[in-house]
Amino acid sequence: MALSARLEVRQGQGLVITPQLQQAIKLLQMSNLELEAFVEGELERNPLLQRDESDNAPSDAPQDEAMGAVEHAADAEARADLDVTHDEASPGERATGDAPEVADAGGAVDWSKAGSGGSFDRDDGDFEGTIAREKTLIEHLQDQVLVAGLAPAEAVIAGVLIDAVDDGGYLRADVLEVAERLGCAPALVETVLGVVQGFDPVGVAARDVRECLMIQLKDQNRYDPAIGALLDNLPLLAKRDLVALKKICGVDDEDLRDMIAEIRGLTPRPGAAFPGGEAATPVAPDVFVREGPGGLWHVELNGDTLPRLLVDQRYHARVSGQSKTDQEKTFVADCMAQANWLMKSLDQRARTILKVSSEIVRQQDAFLAYGVEHLRPLNLKTVADAIGMHESTVSRVTSNKYMATPRGLFEMKFFFTSAIASSEGGEAHSAESVRHKIKQLIDSEAKESDVHSDDRIVELLKAAGVDIARRTVAKYREAMRIPSSVDRRRMLKEPA
């Protein structure tokens, strides 16, 4: 068989992502701070773009004819127990004559026909500075939450507690207030606090000096009733009332000196070893969720985070008429095309965020109404199918976006929890609720004969309608720091 070279022409279809489409995708996953920085850069680069410094006019107010046309749509989407209200600004229609064109919150991008203008790609991140900077105490604790094996609800509680830790490492929040805000039992907050207090550095998240020192002594296996009595009477130690301390602790002079030496070797400010860090920048929510009459939930975009831009048609007409060379004309045309594209992309971004967040609220209304223990199992595909979008789009929308609710400020990713299938073919169970059931079964063990093995727990859960594997039960049990059935039997054998 002879080999020969030949030329062939084939026709096929392929998806080409233009630079502007790539940037539109990046805009979708930007946080509001990143978006603000990007828009500032475009304002400096594009002479046809201006910031709209005028006061926000009501959506139904007639627009000045000299300012072009802006469509403000107030769409109320009511779905059974959800009432969504928002103000959307559609792309500003091109004005005639010299009137500038206005776009509130940008305009709508046509994803299938994105222009092929110049690329907006750039790298403004100070990656070397980010890598070189030492982590703050809060960042160090947040990293440990990720590997602590906490349930979604417990991770949220841990995040709230960590946010309340000061530079010295002490907790500046009341457990009852945290429980009330998150709608969960104070005992659950105390349990999560115990986990956080086990993080590095030892003694962190203590509520006072006594608790801080006690945590460190327990970590060293040096805590006993005598030194516990000494910690309970630190004011006497500060006064050097050693006679009273010996009597209270029931020790002699030598033991008291040893205990005082141990306490002096501890760290009263466990967070002092970490850099104080810059003043924290408050997170601005992208979406507000408020409860309305009849238990309906109102979802609104945060207008303060949406850029308000002007495309100066008057200036465009003037420079277009004065352009003489082809290069000048091309530059002006590119600036105009990119300005219009930017406004359309910003509007599409705002609409998409609102659409996704509205569906999240509809799915997680039980959490908003009853608290963190009522999170429903939810994944990206469920939301994507409900609103007719791709999973990747929903993933980008929920990255670095925050939702302000009556329960607090949460990243949108928080509302997505794993699901455990139902053995009876009914509604799936959230991983959090299954963990709660496992803990209830183990807490009910009053004597050695009542101890449930992991296999027995699987049987009891299946009888309750939860289809779960043994290894999953073991994983959840270990994540909650519950000993094995063998260790629990041994503990029940030991005399109280």
- Among all chains, which residue has been given the structure tokens 């599409």? 348
In angstroms, the CA 89 to CA 360 distance is 22
Average predicted confidence (pLDDT) for the chain: 77
Q: Is the pLDDT of residue 79 over 60?
A: no
Peptide bond into 201 cis (omega under 30): yes
CA distances from residue 77 to 81, 174, 353, 390 in whole angstroms, order as listed = 11, 38, 15, 21
Q: Is residue 347 within 8 Å of 109, Cβ to Cβ?
A: yes
Return the pLDDT at 54: 67
Q: Could you tell me the pLDDT band of residue 15, with boundaries at 50, 70 and 90?
A: low
In this predicted model, what pLDDT tens digit does every residue of 162-177 receive, in sequence order? 989 988 899 998 999 9
In angstroms, the CA 139 to CA 339 distance is 38
In this predicted model, what pLDDT tens digit does every residue of 424-456 receive, in sequence order? 555 566 676 788 788 888 888 877 778 888 888
Domain residue extents for the chain: 19-124+287-346, 137-273, 420-493
Q: Is residue 335 within 8 Å of 120, Cβ to Cβ?
A: no
Q: Is residue 270 within 8 Å of 57, Cβ to Cβ?
A: no
In angstroms, the CA 412 to CA 405 distance is 11
Return the pLDDT at 220: 86
Question: Cβ of 391: how many Cβ atoms within 10 Å?
Answer: 14
Average pLDDT estimate for 118-144 = 60
Return the pLDDT at 310: 85
Return the pLDDT at 452: 87
**Residue 321, CA atoms < 13 Å, CB-side half-sphere:** 6
Three-state secondary structure call for residue 393: helix
% of the chain residues with pLDDT over 70: 78
In angstroms, the CA 345 to CA 302 distance is 17
Return the pLDDT at 204: 93
In angstroms, the CA 154 to CA 176 distance is 15
Q: Could you tell me the pLDDT band of residue 71, with boundaries at 50, 70 and 90?
A: very low
Average pLDDT estimate for 56-82 = 32
In angstroms, the CA 402 to CA 414 distance is 10
- Among all chains, which residue has been given the structure tokens 């039992």? 185
The domain defined by 420-493 folds into Arc Repressor Mutant, subunit A (1.10.10)
Enclosing H/E stretch for 187: helix 186-196
Q: Is the pLDDT of residue 140 over 80?
A: yes
Q: Could you tell me the pLDDT band of residue 123, with boundaries at 50, 70 and 90?
A: very low
137-273 and 420-493 share one fold: yes
Q: Is residue 408 within 8 Å of 366, Cβ to Cβ?
A: no
* Domain 137-273 CATH class label: mainly alpha
In angstroms, the CA 42 to CA 34 distance is 13
Q: Could you tell me the pLDDT band of residue 316, with boundaries at 50, 70 and 90?
A: confident
Average pLDDT estimate for 216-230 = 89
In this predicted model, what pLDDT tens digit does every residue of 402-423 receive, in sequence order? 999 988 888 888 888 765 555 5
DSSP annotation of 423:
T
Q: Which of 21-35, 85-99, 228-242, 332-346 has the lowest mean pLDDT?
A: 85-99
Three-state secondary structure call for residue 243: helix
Residue ranges with strand state E in 12-69: 49-51
Residue 150, class by beta-carbon neighbours within 10 Å (0-12 exposed, 13-18 middle, 19+ buried)?
buried
In angstroms, the CA 352 to CA 30 distance is 13
Q: Is the pLDDT of residue 196 over 90?
A: yes
Return the pLDDT at 20: 72
More confident residue, 149 or 69: 149
In this predicted model, what pLDDT tens digit does every residue of 325-357 receive, in sequence order? 888 888 888 889 888 988 898 989 999 999 999
* Bridge partner list, 288: 300, 404
Q: Could you tell me the pLDDT band of residue 77, with boundaries at 50, 70 and 90?
A: very low
CA-based diameter of the chain, in Å? 108
Q: Is residue 115 within 8 Å of 106, Cβ to Cβ?
A: no
Three-state secondary structure call for residue 290: strand
Q: Could you tell me the pLDDT band of residue 276, with boundaries at 50, 70 and 90?
A: low
